[in-house]
Structure 1
């Protein structure tokens, strides 16, 4: 279980491409991010990335009406049916072609999938007892070009499909006699959205050129008539039901009754017809602005449209009254969706990687997040493990909360790519280095850039390190080969260290003393003494260019990654090498599409670029130009485990062999130049071209790991990759992991011990079963006065388990004093035994400290505010008592003794409240 890390969450990105969806209750936004799906809880302000991934980037997500099922489809048409309740993949399915949209019917019994110019009607999974989850019911042909959008009527009888051929097709979900299909024109550009009116066949269609057509039907939904053959079959089914045969599902029987009631026998059937009632235009100023997405809320009759300029409009239909028009950015709005109540609107901008939720009635943001829209270069954990800071190639420094998974502050002072970020030992200062020639320090109390460190002449900083005291800031330059040292207090440049003959690639301070290690491309690692006149203490020769250097947490060992793919270990005191790991064979690298050499030959030039020791120093984490992250045992110098950070084939260098289907007579298709040739660079697609502009250039980003860090608690580690900031944790898995389990250990036996008031025995049984909910139930059943007795009689092996459990409960539970009493008694009664095993329980203690620190920050402000409130109440009481006494003296009446006692009692009461509040504040601190 020591290395049983599993994928926990994905930070650094909130939206990439595809359609957004709201959950059934409207409190969650479901957003595709690359080949994963994230769920953002707007009510609790948290995010969760589902523990599954597709083969390529996700293009569309279909959500069932009950909110329990989702179908995600990637670029190639490979689909996965996901349970949003258990977060598990139920089945895989392949549509064999790229899918443009997918939509469930409102009753949840069917779904429509559009690919190319075909609409496919499937039975929804879970509604019938069938071997295959998706059973094809009907195939609809009609559009001449690719389909773009789908919408259902509220009674699930019909659906509409929009197409790039500027037409909209209305199809019947059943075999209606008076509606087989109906084609609607009226547009001069591709149809972006089509929407049915509530409980009606009236239709709204929106095109890319900003035109809205309102279509009115001459038939109500109740006027749709089944064909004779279908009606006869339905009558036979109904007669069999009347004879006593039970149907598998009541929904089909309701549909049968409705079909029979709507089927006249001898009357003439009139076909459904549409009439264009009106036509409206969004671009009234004359400037051309493409309409990119649209959404319609049928209950409130509100149409939301997003444009390529970042502007969105809200209109009330069918009158086309403009409610308001706003701009959220200058980038294209890729997706828009409204929640079930119609109060919140979700926007996705793929160009900026931005996700917004807007409440249009109050005109305020409910949710606003933006990830790094370029690669992330570096990350760092705060000392308490509560925050993660990341720096990206977009020049932004973002701070993420590990509990919620959301970014709460972004610093944009840098004007070029960030190369390294780090926290100081206090945890309240972030330092970042950039290629713009500055090193900046940020304050997490006031959220501002309070220091800017520069060099005498402009250089590009490629590495950064801060000593354990937080006073010295060092940065290495990649063009002048020098190391600059500044004072954090004064901001002055203290020293410039020269000696390297190549770019300084990595810096690292010793965790226990002011000694700096610097790795360079000149094949050396230099040890600098910050106390003894900034002199070089040792020079370590390397077999190749140094890329990364890292100190062990006790400062007694140094690990260096070099260009030849090796990791060497050194004792910095006497400059002796203790061992090395040849990691080139573990860097399994795929073959790029544009490379002419094989993956095996390409792997010879790969190396590790990021190193990080574990909390106990027994193992080291290494990553680089590969999709794998390796954990090595330092003492044995062997590979313990490999983690695949991504299986997304949309990235380059993922496959070991080239696909033979992409080979032509001229070689690989990726090597064939498909440039514009002698054209004039016109961006418009040619007539007859179905896949857009054939001269457009596309590139696939290469998968790699740029930075690695272990959490201070040791329970998780994070890596900045091409996909984003990936967090792997020991706590995120849903694995049943019992301890010392036998047949007598059951939930019933645990509750039996609780009824007998055998508290210690119940706790031991609960930990042996290892179910979180049951353990929490047992702890919260123990009376408060019995906590010291139970803690004293607890076996030693369960003390550590209980401490770790308390650290997790303190993060989420509201019973703060109750769990603090448990932790206090455990540490007081078993402190000496725990001290002897300090190395093993260090992650548990750090996790407990992290929880206490978070509560301290939130409660200290509240307690301080209460102290001032109580002081104000005491002063106000005194003022009122003095005023009342003065009035009575002026009237000539004596102040009664009882009233004086009341005033004294009031003052004593308020003074007691103030003293109690102060004591609670001190206790929490």
Structure 2
């Protein structure tokens, strides 16, 4: 399964729209990201995107009380029942309309969906075996406008629904005699949120104008009575009672009327009544700062409200005491969630794509993540594969950790869109180019911009490249058609390479030589010799405009993507074309909403805009203005696999056929533009506008792939697209992929060989079966003093597989020294023979380097801390010893005391060291 890459993670986008949820234990946040869902583990500092996707952007997510199931509903009303334990889809369902919110009952038996002006209650799936997972129980009518929010009582007997018609409705989950429904009015704007008090029918309702109403109920939850059955059910119950009471006296049967109450009893039994205790106002800034979201924690009585201006308030109810009033940004707070303990509050800002988790008691951030405001343009892997750097149209450069999925540094020095990013070979420096006319170098140790390269005349740079030594930086201009070359050490401009007659679209250095390849719209690719007077070595003439250029990792081949959807391969030494791939039919672009032609015809004008060789140089990835990424075999020049990056129909250029239902006699319905202020209640910047913003417009971003890169380890590849930074990996799935398997290889025979201490045979059989657990068992069964003997007896073909397994084990296992001994013995005994396969072995070595570098970073900090502590203790003891020599010691007690002090310091340092190691 060499090309079995599967979706692994989504970085670069942390929140788009929908509601946030905390998991049952309160340690993770579930955030909708477009048509996918990401789980942010706050305790272990990890983020992981579930391998599932809906057809449209996710509108709401409902989480079961035990945290095992989730119902994900998109904008079209299609729902997925997802198991969060096995991370898979259990059931598909369609609610036949736009759903606003979903909420499970606290006992987990039912869930309510608000759709249109009705609320529907379903039996919760998973409690019993049934053919249909979603069974409709009741449909509740009452509101005249769209329903907006739901909340349940703690005993799951009632639920409350808010509506845009300014009313709040309390419904009974069962057929209660004294509560069927109850309508509460008193607001002057749409209801945003409503919450029940803990173990009570008292509730709070909040409207969009910032009004909070406190409602008191005269009946406790225990006072709700089930309604007596009628019709055939009552007849059956009546018959059963008569059969049970046949043995009683005849007189008693004549004087009692079964199943009915006397009129006096009916008068004594009252209906549930609500009364408004108080009304408060949260909004102090006028009409243009609407309340957009709210959350309430019943145990701590904490109310959190968010507004369109980015301000949020914390109040204690029912006294309405203000605890905090802070601002996140100038964008609206789209969603708020509180974890089970009430310590952490999650905020989602859809305008900025920002996700915050705030600990309100200590007033500190637990999580603060934000993606690129506009689309990503470029990406680059670090040489060891641990980090990914991305650049966006918003002028920001972000560095992401591939293991945790979090962004740990954002560089904001550029004042315009970033067009290219790259690492130096050491991995400690990032070089970026921008449309603001600068090329900047950033230091990853201090996170600062230490070099800024500029041109004599202002120009916009479209691409950047750094040579293998890290000494020469070059950037191509898109307006002056020139290539600028600088020195990394001095920052001085070395030369300006002229010759292109069109914008420079791509630059790439030969990894083995100081040869620079530049692609341009003038239908040429020029090869420049950096050591020979900066002259043009060769000019490769193309049939169309060049859009991208890249060298093979060994530098012996050059690939160029052109405007006519072709990929041509060249021998850079002899300037001879060695092959070409026609990719017009493989790109498969979709049609836009306003296109009047089919997707097949619109694909004629599309081409590949980014290329990347695999780590071994045998394959090449290509992407462009399409949702597909194509993987080609270079030597055979055939399509090996096509990866679909997105199935989100909320993006443009995703449809394949023309939708006739959207065509009217006046034109396409997509031309009818709605302003953004109607739905989300955003602030109004234009004067004279009463509601909404007439200058704002809705638009559907077009799906496209802007950059592709293979990881140096060869185990995964990344793509920057409209949805974010997508990572596809070989390690994301369980596959049975044996190697030279026959009937003699079984788990039983492997364990039998281990019992007979035939370690080499057991290891060979384990790697032929290719089961990770068995391979780990076979390797760890070898005694430490026999590792050298076993490693020398392994065939060369299996040495590479054992090294791959060791590289993967470094990321998970704690047996660091044991696996290091295995790695050292394998490389020492087989190093000479493996030199002939250096090209194929390079990704494995880089995979090993990635794991070792991560451990080196962790252990080196601990060792440095211990070393500095010991040096400090020795310096203190030496200083005290000098004092003792200068001052005469009268008694032995003073010297003993000073020795005890130094011993006490050493012991304290040792205890701190043990604590640090435990942490």
Q: How does 1:874-889 map to 2 (within 5 A)?
A: 874-879=874-879, 889=889
Q: What secondary structure sits across from 1:890 in the alignment?
A: coil
Matched, 1:655 2:655: yes
Residue of structure 1 in register with 2:101 after alignment: 101
* CA pair 92-527 structure 1, distance change in 2 beyond 3 A: same
Q: How does 1:380-529 map to 2 (within 5 A)?
A: 380-529=380-529
Q: What secondary structure sits across from 1:812 in the alignment?
A: coil
The alpha carbon displacement at 1:324 in A equals 1.1
Residue of structure 2 in register with 1:345 after alignment: 345
Residue of structure 1 in register with 2:830 after alignment: 830
Distance 1:766 1:663 in 2: 61
Contact 2:187-2:211 at 8 Å conserved across structures? yes
Distance 1:894 1:449 in 2: 55
* CA pair 50-891 structure 1, distance change in 2 beyond 3 A: closer
Q: Which segments of 5 or more consecutive residues in structure 2 lack a partner in the other structure?
A: 244-258, 677-685, 914-919
Q: How does 1:385-784 map to 2 (within 5 A)?
A: 385-671=385-671, 683-684=689-690, 697-739=697-739, 759-760=759-760, 762-780=762-780, 782-784=782-784
* CA pair 343-366 structure 1, distance change in 2 beyond 3 A: same
Contact 2:627-2:644 at 8 Å conserved across structures? yes
* CA pair 858-283 structure 1, distance change in 2 beyond 3 A: same
Q: Deviations over 1:79-98 (max 9, x none)?
A: 11111111111111001111
Distance 2:892 2:163 in 1: 93
Distance 1:574 1:795 in 2: 38
Contact 1:377-1:418 at 8 Å conserved across structures? yes
Residue of structure 2 in register with 1:87 after alignment: 87
Distance 1:414 1:854 in 2: 30
* CA pair 468-579 structure 1, distance change in 2 beyond 3 A: same
Contact 1:200-1:220 at 8 Å conserved across structures? yes
* CA pair 684-164 structure 1, distance change in 2 beyond 3 A: farther
* CA pair 871-658 structure 1, distance change in 2 beyond 3 A: same
Matched, 1:788 2:788: yes
Distance 1:53 1:436 in 2: 37
* CA pair 757-635 structure 1, distance change in 2 beyond 3 A: closer
Deviates more, 1:795-804 or 1:396-405: 795-804
* CA pair 301-236 structure 1, distance change in 2 beyond 3 A: farther
Matched, 1:301 2:301: yes
Q: How does 1:860-879 map to 2 (within 5 A)?
A: 860-879=860-879
Distance 2:829 2:874 in 1: 41
Distance 1:774 1:53 in 2: 34
Distance 1:98 1:603 in 2: 33
Distance 1:234 1:5 in 2: 62
Distance 1:456 1:391 in 2: 25
Contact 1:346-1:358 at 8 Å conserved across structures? yes
The alpha carbon displacement at 1:397 in A equals 0.3
* CA pair 201-537 structure 1, distance change in 2 beyond 3 A: same
Q: Deviations over 1:161-198 (max 9, x none)?
A: 00111111000001111110000111111111100011
Matched, 1:5 2:5: yes
Distance 1:693 1:324 in 2: 30
* CA pair 673-812 structure 1, distance change in 2 beyond 3 A: closer
The alpha carbon displacement at 1:872 in A equals 2.5
Q: What secondary structure sits across from 2:303 in the alignment?
A: strand
* CA pair 2-200 structure 1, distance change in 2 beyond 3 A: same
Distance 1:825 1:233 in 2: 80
The alpha carbon displacement at 1:881 in A equals 5.6
Q: Deviations over 1:851-892 (max 9, x none)?
A: 111111222222122222222233444455666688885349
Q: Deviations over 1:437-469 (max 9, x none)?
A: 111110000000111111111111111111111
Contact 1:149-1:161 at 8 Å conserved across structures? yes
Residue of structure 2 in register with 1:376 after alignment: 376
Residue of structure 2 in register with 1:254 after alignment: none
Q: Which segments of 5 or more consecutive residues in structure 1 lack a partner in the other structure?
A: 244-259, 686-691, 918-925
The alpha carbon displacement at 1:659 in A equals 1.1
The alpha carbon displacement at 1:270 in A equals 1.6
* CA pair 277-752 structure 1, distance change in 2 beyond 3 A: farther
Contact 2:177-2:227 at 8 Å conserved across structures? yes
Residue of structure 2 in register with 1:253 after alignment: none
Distance 2:675 2:155 in 1: 50
Contact 1:19-1:32 at 8 Å conserved across structures? yes
* CA pair 748-583 structure 1, distance change in 2 beyond 3 A: same
Residue of structure 2 in register with 1:252 after alignment: none
Distance 2:191 2:381 in 1: 48
Distance 1:216 1:568 in 2: 75
Contact 2:651-2:700 at 8 Å conserved across structures? yes
Contact 1:175-1:230 at 8 Å conserved across structures? no
Distance 1:208 1:288 in 2: 11
Distance 1:867 1:199 in 2: 57
Contact 1:440-1:453 at 8 Å conserved across structures? yes
Residue of structure 2 in register with 1:248 after alignment: none
Residue of structure 1 in register with 2:227 after alignment: 227
Q: How does 1:798-817 map to 2 (within 5 A)?
A: 798-817=798-817
The alpha carbon displacement at 1:697 in A equals 3.3
* CA pair 220-503 structure 1, distance change in 2 beyond 3 A: same
The alpha carbon displacement at 1:18 in A equals 0.3
Q: Deviations over 1:761-802 (max 9, x none)?
A: 554454445443454455445544443344344454443322
The alpha carbon displacement at 1:660 in A equals 1.6
* CA pair 571-797 structure 1, distance change in 2 beyond 3 A: closer
Q: How does 1:24-39 map to 2 (within 5 A)?
A: 24-39=24-39
Contact 1:888-1:894 at 8 Å conserved across structures? no
Distance 1:893 1:586 in 2: 88
Residue of structure 2 in register with 1:182 after alignment: 182
The alpha carbon displacement at 1:206 in A equals 0.9
Deviates more, 1:787-796 or 1:329-338: 787-796
* CA pair 547-876 structure 1, distance change in 2 beyond 3 A: same
Distance 2:506 2:743 in 1: 55
Deviates more, 1:769-778 or 1:319-328: 769-778
Contact 2:163-2:190 at 8 Å conserved across structures? yes
Distance 2:66 2:876 in 1: 56
Distance 1:563 1:627 in 2: 18
Residue of structure 2 in register with 1:247 after alignment: none
Distance 2:561 2:157 in 1: 64
Q: What secondary structure sits across from 1:337 in the alignment?
A: strand
Matched, 1:856 2:860: no
Distance 1:889 1:472 in 2: 66
Question: How many pairs were matched up?
Answer: 880
Contact 2:283-2:290 at 8 Å conserved across structures? no
Distance 2:235 2:409 in 1: 64
Distance 1:392 1:273 in 2: 57
Contact 2:209-2:287 at 8 Å conserved across structures? no
Matched, 1:49 2:52: no
Q: What secondary structure sits across from 1:420 in the alignment?
A: strand
Contact 1:881-1:903 at 8 Å conserved across structures? no
What is the TM-score of this pair, normalised by structure 2? 0.90
Q: Deviations over 1:29-83 (max 9, x none)?
A: 1111011111111011111010011111111111111111111111100011111
Residue of structure 2 in register with 1:689 after alignment: none
The alpha carbon displacement at 1:827 in A equals 2.0
* CA pair 47-122 structure 1, distance change in 2 beyond 3 A: same
* CA pair 863-236 structure 1, distance change in 2 beyond 3 A: farther
